[in-house]
């Protein structure tokens, strides 16, 4: 009988001559971490075991002493248009055309104008009305009357134009007679309310200086337009809406036959220039706040029409191009002759910093090829950004001369 074999003796020993079999590949992924460093100052850690790693961490983009800001800067280099600006709508809009102003027949029943625009539907009703198109056509006619002409060139000056210029001189003298008061507020000097109060008290007498006997009853309609052309005494502000009221006042005079087509050049180069100088003095002396300003994305804090008239003056100019506004010599030598240059010079005077930052819209316009395109674009922009905006036109007045 054979002795029992131990379990170890039953195990088959591998034959050295037999080929070695490789084990089947494992389905589990083995992570081989980097060799651990003994340097205690390393901050990088292994993703597998959590130990320190040899490779130093990437340097942060921002230093620890200057962390990234948690806000977006208010002013950035100029781009073409703000995000909510309907550029395509303005591009597709045709350039407004000039229209002949129809003169009323006498006798005429004048009425006190009132506000009629309160909602976007009212704006649509207004822009589709014949009176609105005729009013825009009047502004285009004023623009065309000064095309290619300097402010100092001789023009037809009727008695009405001379009287209105005299009225503007009187209002300018009132600013010197009513100095600003000392106050801590940056905007809105309360002395403007005294100046505005004198205007309201004297406005009817000022109108009667040039109104003939058969049109004296028109003061009930003319005075509200005139008094609202120089800013708001309660808010102590001024904007394109008040400027539009002054244009509406001139339009009413044209409807009454007091301002004729041969007077249009004088209306721009004499009357409107004096009005613009008066408003600049009011803005600087009484620190009028911009009314409804778009900030840096607006064309200007206060005005729009002088850019339209001024761009028309420079159409086909031999030397001055849209990009010439960046030439200080041009601004110094031609500001007295061209409204557009005058406006740019005034903006550079009252605003500090790079021009492309505080006036990106004007900076972008300087890249347009010629003044004809600038003028057409500004006319379309005026209609879209002033006459079709509820916050501005909600204060506009409608009466018998400019009907709703």
For 346-404, how does the pLDDT look when each residue is reduced to its tens digit (9 = 90+)? 999 999 999 999 999 999 999 999 999 999 999 999 999 999 999 999 999 999 999 98
pLDDT at 158: 95
- Classify each residue of 326-360 as buried b or exposed e, where b means 16 or more C-beta atoms within 10 Å of its C-beta: eeeebbeebbebbbbbbbbbbbbeeeeeebbbbbb
pLDDT at 229: 97
Q: Mean pLDDT, to the nearest integer, of 126-142?
A: 95
pLDDT at 43: 54
pLDDT at 85 over 50: no
Q: Mean pLDDT, to the nearest integer, of 291-310?
A: 84
pLDDT at 141 over 70: yes
pLDDT tens-place string over residues 33-61: 544 444 444 456 666 777 766 666 565 55
CA 76 to chain centre: 16
Q: Which residues are paired to 397 by β-bridges?
A: 115
pLDDT at 294: 61
Lowest mean pLDDT, pick from 14-28, 128-142, 158-172, 235-249: 14-28
To 10 degrees, the CA torsion angle through 234, 239, 243, 245? -50
Which of 1-15, 22-36, 358-372: highest mean pLDDT?
A: 358-372
pTM of the model: 0.78
Name the residue with higher pLDDT: 184 or 31: 184
Q: Mean pLDDT, to the nearest integer, of 325-353?
A: 95
Name the residue with higher pLDDT: 27 or 266: 266
pLDDT tens-place string over residues 309-328: 999 999 999 999 999 999 99
Q: Is the peptide bond before 122 cis (omega within 30 degrees of 0)?
A: no
pLDDT at 299: 87
**79 φψ region: left (φ > 0), alpha (ψ -120 to 50), beta (else):** beta
pLDDT at 363: 93
**Which positions ≥6 away from 333 have C-beta within 8 Å?**
none
Nearest to 314 by CA among 378, 264, 371, 376: 371
Query: At what angle are helices 339-350 and 305-313 packed, to 10 degrees?
Result: 130
The DSSP code sequence of 115-138 is E---SHHHHHHHHTSHHHHHHHHH
């Amino acid at each position: 009988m054979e002795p029992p074999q131990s379990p170890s003796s039953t195990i088959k020993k591998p034959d050295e001559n037999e080929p070695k079999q490789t084990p089947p590949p494992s389905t589990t992924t083995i992570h081989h971490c980097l060799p651990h460093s003994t340097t205690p100052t390393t901050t990088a850690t292994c993703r597998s075991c959590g130990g320190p790693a040899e490779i130093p961490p990437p340097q942060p983009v921002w230093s620890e002493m200057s962390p990234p800001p948690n806000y977006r800067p208010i002013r950035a280099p100029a781009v073409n248009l703000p995000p909510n600006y309907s550029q395509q709508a303005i591009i597709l809009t045709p350039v407004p055309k000039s229209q002949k102003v129809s003169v009323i027949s006498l006798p005429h029943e004048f009425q006190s104008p009132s506000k009629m625009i309160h909602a976007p539907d009212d704006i649509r009703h207004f822009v589709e009305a014949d009176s609105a198109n005729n009013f825009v056509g009047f502004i285009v006619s004023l623009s065309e009357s000064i095309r290619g002409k300097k402010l100092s060139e001789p023009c037809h000056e009727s008695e009405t134009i001379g009287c209105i210029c005299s009225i503007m001189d009187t209002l300018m003298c009132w600013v010197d007679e009513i100095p600003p008061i000392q106050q801590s507020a940056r905007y809105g000097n309360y002395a403007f309310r005294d100046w505005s109060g004198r205007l309201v008290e004297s406005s009817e007498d000022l109108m009667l200086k040039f109104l003939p006997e058969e049109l004296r009853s028109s003061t009930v309609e003319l005075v509200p337009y005139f008094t609202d052309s120089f800013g708001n005494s309660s808010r102590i502000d001024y904007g394109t809406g008040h400027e539009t009221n002054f244009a509406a006042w001139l339009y009413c005079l044209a409807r009454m036959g007091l301002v004729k087509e041969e007077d249009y050049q004088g209306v721009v180069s004499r009357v409107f220039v004096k009005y613009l100088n008066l408003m600049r003095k009011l803005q600087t002396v009484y620190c009028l706040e911009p009314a409804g300003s778009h900030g840096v994305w607006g064309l200007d804090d206060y005005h729009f029409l002088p850019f339209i008239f001024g761009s028309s003056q420079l159409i086909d100019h031999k030397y001055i191009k849209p990009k010439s506004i960046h030439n200080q010599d041009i601004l110094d030598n031609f500001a007295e002759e061209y409204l557009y240059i005058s406006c740019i010079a005034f903006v550079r005077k009252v605003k500090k910093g790079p021009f492309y930052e505080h006036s990106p819209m004007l900076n972008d316009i300087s890249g347009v090829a010629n003044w004809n395109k600038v003028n057409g674009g500004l006319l379309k922009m005026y209609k879209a950004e002033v006459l079709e905006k509820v916050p501005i036109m909600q204060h506009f007045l409608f009466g018998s001369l400019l009907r709703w």
